[in-house]
Amino acid sequence: MKARLFARGLLVSFVLSGLVSCGGGAGGLAGGGIGGTGMSQGPVTGFGSVFVNGIEFATERAEIEVEGQTSGITQANLGVGMVVRVEWEKDASGKFTAKRIKYSDDVQGPVAGISPATTGTGGTFTVLGQTIKVDALTVFSGIAGFAGLQPSQIVEVSGLRDANGDIRATRVEVKTGTAGEVELKGVVSNLNNSPGTFTIGVTTTVNYSSVPGGLPSDVREGTCVEVKGTATDNVITATSIESDDSCSLGGAKNGEEVEIEGFVTGLPGGTFNVNGVAVSVASMLDSGYENGIKADLDNNVRVEVEGKITNGVLIAQKVKFKLGGDDGASGGGSGGGDGGGIVFDEIKGQVTSVTSSDTLSISDGARTVTITVNNDTLFEDGIRRDLGNITKVDPLKIKFYITGQTSIAIKVERDD
């Protein structure tokens, strides 16, 4: 069952996204011919421009904000796997240009509770009481991978929260130095004005009694905040608290186009949430579901949703079931088809040729495989989406799948 679901999730994420591999596409936000503005939120998958949710965003005119800073911040301050919010405009030719890109991490602090997965790749660890789940597509910076994590290392984590409140890490970056100021982003719950505490997630308590000026007036139950301070175990003594609209698509206007990736939460109900955004599929046609059906929607299913905002609710026009939280399971529910004969593989070796901006050949000495990349392929180690900085003899590791006669890259990284 898991293998079938994984295959189906990948079929959506990569085969169908091949329609937009050059920045265009058929229907949805990627359709050309009609200009407009909108927002997208999801992990960065590659550079050249910036690629998010299978769409290429030109950045020459973008204001880029990283952790509240804009001065001196450029595209170079972004990294693959960072979950960003992109405010964009689209011209009549279908070209997307980012007006503003915002990134803020989910948590920064010391590593604890490291637990490798019993099967598959990755595992879990905790930071400030927040459970972090790692899978095969998690990007690591500063260490080679999950096995390199050590207790008390300071890490910055970006990811997508699931229905359990856990963070499914899309990027884990090891920071230099020792534990000092910690950071945590999330939604306020259990707000108690006396003695001055609230919780984020399941187990982390924030004590704000020493914050200069007290709790900001715009912070209340359900507000997304960024907390900075010091930590002892799972208690943060806050030195600053600010509201932060990056938990959801704050600021999206009525009628604005929106695309968001995340895990379904809040079912059963008339609407559900994806990464903090309320979603309604009540008026969506059955043809709007890609690689699944409405019955496949369930908590902890990973999806990408496109539609328009109406009174704060994303009225879905398309739901695409995507890869889930580990090597063996997709976000695609339990029905809606099978893997279509897809075979998964990995090759480590040297590049023998780069035949176009979308294909390369790689040999491990025993075989040579021609690989196709697209906008949903995850590119690590500075590899550009157009393969312009890849040469013959570069050592790479490529995870890929085979559909028909085509091998399509899931993840491309340098093999050190």
Torsion of CA 129, 229, 138, 23, to 10 degrees: 140
The verdict on residue 152 lying in a domain is: yes
Residue 265 CA to residue 396 CA, distance in Å, equals 37
**In this structure, is residue 324 part of a structural domain?**
yes
Task: Name the one residue in this structure whose structure tokens are 């990569």.
Answer: 14
Both structure tokens of 21: 């591999």
Q: Rounded to whole angstroms, how far apart are CA atoms 57 and 85?
A: 12
Instruction: Check residue 17 and report its DSSP letter.
Output: G
Are 149 and 125 in contact by the 8 Å Cβ rule? The answer is yes
What is the CATH classification number for the domain harbouring 131?
Answer: 2.40.50
Query: For residue 61, what pLDDT is reported?
Result: 92
Q: Which of 303, 375, 307 is nearest to 336 (CA)?
A: 303
Token readout for 318 is 């398309």
Q: Are residues 8 and 99 in the same domain?
A: yes
Establish if 257 belongs to a structural domain: yes
Evaluate whether residue 78 is within a structural domain.
yes
In terms of domains, do 295 and 325 share one? Answer: yes
Q: Quick one: pLDDT at residue 290?
A: 85
Residues 403-414 as b/e (b if ≥16 CB within 10 A, e otherwise) read beeebbbbbbbe
The reply to whether 338 falls in a domain is no
Q: Are 383 and 373 in contact (CB under 8 A)?
A: no
Domain shared by 21 and 58, yes or no = yes
Q: SS in 3 state form for 81-131?
A: CCEEEEEEEECCCCCEEEEEEEECCCEEEEEEEEEECCCCCCEEEEECCEE
Beta bridge partners of 169: 159
| Residue 77 forms part of a structural domain | yes
Taking the CA atoms of the chain, what radius of gyration do you get in angstroms? 21
Over 146-183, what HEC string results?
A: HHHCCCCCEEEEEEEECCCCCEEEEEEEEECCCCCCEE
Tokens 């796997």 locate to 81
Total structural domains within the chain: 4
The answer to whether position 94 is within a domain reads: yes
Q: Are residues 92 and 41 in the same domain?
A: yes
Q: Is the dihedral angle over the CA atoms 281, 286, 292, 295 positive or is it negative?
A: positive
Residue ranges making up the domain that contains 378: 343-414
CA atoms of 310 and 159, how far apart (whole Å)? 26
Residues 261 and 193 in one domain: no
The DSSP bridge pattern shows strands 272-274 and 139-141 to be unpaired
Tell me the DSSP string of 316-382: EEEEEE-EEEETTEESS-S-S---TT-EEEEEEEEEEEE-SSSEEEEE-SS-EEEEE--TTSEE-TT
CATH number at residue 379: 2.40.50.320
Q: How far apart are CA 201 and CA 189, in angstroms?
A: 8
Q: Which residue has the tokens 């907390």?
A: 227
Output the pTM of the full model: 0.86
Domain boundary among 146, 175, 204: 175
Which residues are paired to 343 by β-bridges? 402
Mean pLDDT per 10-residue section of the chain, whose length is 416 residues: 40 40 43 74 94 94 94 95 96 93 96 88 92 91 92 95 93 84 94 94 93 93 94 93 85 89 92 93 93 89 94 94 50 36 82 96 97 92 94 93 86 89
pLDDT at 7 (0 to 100): 40
Residue 14 is assigned to a structural domain of this protein = yes
Does 255 lie in the same domain as 233?
A: no
